[in-house]
Amino acid sequence: MQIQFNRSNNRLELSDGWSTTADRSNEFDVPRDRVGEVTLHQIRDFLRDAGRGTGTEDGVPASFILFGSAPDGIRVYGENDVRYEILGLLGEDQDRISLILSVDYVLARNRVELDERLTDYFTRRGVEVLMVRFCGPAESIELHVALPLDWTVLQCAAFSDTLTMLLQNDRLNLKTPAGAYALVGAGAPAMVLGEAENEWLEVKRESYGIAAESQKYEFACDVASFANSDLGGLIVIGIASSKDSSGNDVLARVTPCRRGSLNVQRYMQILRDRVIPPVEGLRIDVVPVGVGDVMAIYVPPQPEEIKPFIVKGAVVDSKVSGSFLSIPHRRGSDKWAMSPEAVHSMLVAARVVLRGVGAGGAADT
């Protein structure tokens, strides 16, 4: 998507034919979905040009007001938790972009509580806080932040939505599978970008290709490995990773799969056929993102008494054989199969417990 300023009529014009004129406050109202793929680099250059062409008498440059997906295209104030989003030029050289937004019904009552909720999230994403204003009896917050110029408007919108979740929800923790799952499920997978794959997070650029036996087996092992861990886990299909300078796989970009290509029932059936016992509380959701879909597979922490989770089949001579079984585990971001020694130790421990129950009527605790 390309964006330009038409100096002859003071209009914002997009390459798909949509356009609008600045209002009397020298602001351009733009629906989020119209400019989702436009970068802040492009918006900075646009505002510089528009500011020169339509600057007000006091020299205030043009601003870019984003509003939601109201069907009639009318900006909505007060009806949503995020009341407004304004992108504007920042700095003497006007080489940066700031975002101003207001969030209602917040749980943070002062700057200390605000920093506890947001500092780590901002630092990981290269966001700088410029100003914070508590409005009324701290029931709403106005934030001014500087954003990375390589972000798209879609990422800005997801950032705003995520801030609302962080400021209004006491239980949302982005460092857990449940917190990241909440973001992806809310249609904001871009806001987990920058995280590294770890013991509870794995991403796939595209679907598993579950027509092949090897891919069915790999998917079952990924889910079972998270079920055998202490934290559970999250698999996201539709996000690509890349290596950072330390060799870690870092979530780099959202790559939605073709709309309708991710079939929840087929993935569920693979797990029913191959993973023993069934994973409790498992969720598989397909989330529309842009013109495609992203899939989130959430594995909650499992009760210890039903572990280990076993996968029917194993790789033998480079082929999946149903005559064997696998007990996958996680070690950091890697999967590994439980060794025969570990399996034997687990069976011995279970036998000891059962013997104690049989002898005394109840196992010692």
CA distance 41 to 50: 14
Mean pLDDT of 302-306: 89
Q: What is the mean pLDDT of residues 142-166?
A: 81
Highest mean pLDDT among 32-46, 205-219, 341-355: 205-219
248-279 residue pLDDT tens: 889 999 999 999 899 999 999 999 999 999 99
Portion of the chain with pLDDT greater than 90, in percent: 22
Q: Give the model's pLDDT for residue 69.
A: 42
Amino acid at 95: D
pLDDT at position 73 is 34
For the segment 135-150, the average pLDDT, to the nearest whole number, is: 81
pLDDT top residue among 125 and 214: 214
Highest mean pLDDT among 168-182, 318-332, 333-347: 168-182
Mean pLDDT, the chain, integer: 79
Q: How far apart are CA 48 and CA 88, in angstroms?
A: 10
- Report residue 360's pLDDT band, with 50, 70 and 90 as the boundaries: low
pTM: 0.59
Residue with the bigger pLDDT between 246 and 137: it is 246
pLDDT confidence band for 141 (50 / 70 / 90) = confident
Q: Where do the domains of the chain lie, and which CATH numbers do they carry?
A: 3-172 (no CATH), 190-360 (3.30.950)
What tokens were used for 272?
């029913």
Say if residue 60's pLDDT is above 60. Answer: no
